[in-house]
Structure 1
Amino acid sequence: MLTPHWLPTGWFQVGWSGDIPVDEVRPLRYFGRDLVAYRDGGGTLHVLDAYCRHLGGHLGYGGRVQDDCVVCPFHGWHWNGGGNNVHIPYQPDRPNRSRRLRAWPVREQFGVVYLWHDVASREPSWEPPNIFTDTGPHTAALDYHPASPHGLIRYGALPLHPQLVLENAADPIHFRYVHGTRHHPVFLRRWEDDAHWFSQIGFGSRWREMEPDSHNGDTLSILAAGVGLSFTSLSGSSNTLILLSTTPVDVGTSEMFQTVWLERLPGDDVPGAVESRIDAATAQLPHDITIWSHQRFEDPPALATVEGRAFADLRLWARRFYPESAGAPRLLSAANGTVQLEGEMRP
């Protein structure tokens, strides 16, 4: 297979809407590039390459918003949301029309900020899923608490690759050994299309593999969208929706975000009740992170028979998000030795 590299194509989370107020400028760094995010006076969010094309000032440090543009702190050049220079204060009649900043496609949905990355600068070919309607029909009609503020959790830069996180969607066996479930969960449903890989697993001894008439109670549904976004619905006595996002920063490092929506339940108005439920819903992820942060990519993996089909299907599906790129450093596999990283990012 094509070994995963550090410049995959797709939508990736780069923060939450509240991180970037109106008329504010914020520096970002993802995919080995320095970026700048700003929100114009109308509230529209823009993400551009960070360095002014005049003399290379970083727009994210000291830059400001004026007339819906980000203004360079060095010499005051104005760059609009499309990456065009539209004003030079000491040459107002002649902006520099030959230099542009790359303008990155962005989306905001339910308070999550997504950025589209593609090494060939192709436009988005699909949209981020709607976590309330797309993870399963049983979640759509329920009433949820807002994720903010207690359900917004940032784990920071971690030494792991999005592919390792993605492969949890094909690995129900780990729940018993990492998370202490009494039984091995089993797959109830699986499907895929060009942008999504869906799996639903059932917890408890009553479930049978790929049972066609299985219901949605006591299940975990994962809708992977590309390699960086995992939309999860956990059903049972209450329903919890979780977006787990893994976004490459530099070679060897990804940033991880967790966004949690809890179904509204009686008693949630008791002080501390919602926070306690958030803590319970997020308590298991650090165990996974410890493993992912010290994991080596096995290619090919030595799989037990019951594991093989799902892993093979997922890895084959994921290949489409790793376009051939001369500047994309690979995640080296065990077959190549113990070194996991190769090269430098050259987007």
Structure 2
Amino acid sequence: MGAINLKMLLESQSLERAPFPVPVGWYFIDYSENLKPGELRNIFVFGQEWVLFRSESGKPGVTDPYCPHLGAHMGHGGKVCGEHLRCPFHHWEYDTEGNCKAIPYAKVMPPITKKGPILRALPTVEKYGMIWSWYHPACEEPSFELPYVPEIEDATGYTGSRRGSWSANTCIQEIAENGVDVAHLKFLHNAPIIPPVEATYNGPTMRINIGQGYIVGDSYGPGLNVMRFTQKDPVTGKAITATMLSYTVPVSHDKSQMNMSFRHVDFPAGTPELAFTKKQIDHMIGAAEGEESAGFESVDFIVWNNKRYRPNPLLCDGDGPIFPFRKWFKQFYVEKPKLDDASA
């Protein structure tokens, strides 16, 4: 028996499933169609509860649930009044930016209400037919914007209503790391080869190119990935691209909700191109008919739900660029501010 490396042999006893806070970024909250004007409900994301509401004119808001006045939960008995969220306890009203706009019995509004928001409200926009909120533990404004994605924003040319949502008992970084871990495609997904991969980084964005154009993925922070799969249709000989939008949400620091939309060129009904691109999408998710390789739904959750994060993994020459990916992802981790009397 060789020399004993206790650090390597015993490290697993101290490993955590997710030793990270919730990362900074834009995140999917819900589909626009699911929130009607005047509606409010409670949601749980980013490790806490929030109130999601839509004003009467249609503007969405996501706020901390506890009223700054006396701490009543505005998601239980609260109401949307015009453009404001109204607390059930004393009817204080807040706009979608967290500003106190009305206190029905106050002759003089507290001076702090004139300086800025007093209720935490997440910057929230609607894009791609979805509601998105910006999360930052220190309440900083967005440092980048969501991109233009023609497949889901253009009025014509593309179609596809297929969606999916899956829970994973791990952090969002572990899920995203799969993109550069190309070796697992052969051994977990039964792909015929380990494809080459290139990854490039530019601020909050990352582009991966797997298999020299077979999969090209663009990440915009932790919360949005646009993956384009291009294959040659054996019937027509044409190169056809299908698109997967992946928008995972951190429910907490160690639980993630994966959400996906699938889009493709609006080929005419009954054409071989349409049949092929639908098979492409089947392949992304599970196992397409007549294929031995498996999509993420079939195999990845077995790993994600039971693994622990190794901060010092033992890698070999066949592994993908895991360390550069982790270095890029690290920028999205920000410690929560330490509050004292001076900042109150």
What TM-score comes out, normalization by structure 1 length? 0.76
Deviation at 1:305, TM superposition (A): 1.0
Q: Per-residue CA shift, 1:109-162, capped at 9, x if unaligned?
A: 11122211111221111112233389xxxx999822153xxx232224x31101
Amino acid of the structure 2 residue aligned with 1:46: G
Over the aligned positions, Cα root-mean-square deviation in angstroms equals 3.0
Which of 94, 98, 102 is 1:83 aligned to? 98
Distance 1:279 1:77, change over 3 A: farther
Amino acid of the structure 2 residue aligned with 1:7: V
Q: Per-residue CA shift, 1:275-329, capped at 9, x if unaligned?
A: 8875554222222222111121112111111325x112111111111124478xx
What TM-score comes out, normalization by structure 2 length? 0.77
2:215 aligns with 220
Cα separation, 2, equivalents of 1:253 and 1:186: 30
Is 95-104 or 64-73 further displaced after alignment? 95-104
2:14 aligns with none
Is 65-74 or 3-12 further displaced after alignment? 3-12
Cα separation, 1, equivalents of 2:81 and 2:281: 39
Which of 188, 192, 195 is 2:201 aligned to? 192
Q: Deviating runs (4+, > 6 A) in structure 1?
A: 139-142, 273-277
2:326 aligns with 315
Distance 1:239 1:325, change over 3 A: same
Amino acid of the structure 2 residue aligned with 1:285: F
Q: Point out the structure with max Rg over C-alpha.
A: 2
Q: Is the 8 A contact 2:22 2:253 kept in 1?
A: no
Cα separation, 1, equivalents of 2:300 and 2:217: 16
Deviation at 1:165, TM superposition (A): 0.9
Matched, 1:128 2:138: no
2:169 aligns with 159
Matched, 1:299 2:311: yes
Matched, 1:240 2:255: no
Determine helix, strand or coil for the equivalent of 1:265: coil
1:145 aligns with 159
Which of 281, 285, 289 is 1:282 aligned to? 285
Cα separation, 1, equivalents of 2:302 and 2:122: 32
Distance 1:277 1:172, change over 3 A: closer
Gaps of 5+ in 2: 1-17, 234-239, 287-294, 339-344
Gaps of 5+ in 1: 203-213, 328-347
Q: Is the 8 A contact 1:167 1:314 kept in 2?
A: yes
Which of 22, 41, 53 is 1:26 aligned to? 41
Q: Is the 8 A contact 2:242 2:280 kept in 1?
A: no
Aligned residues: 298
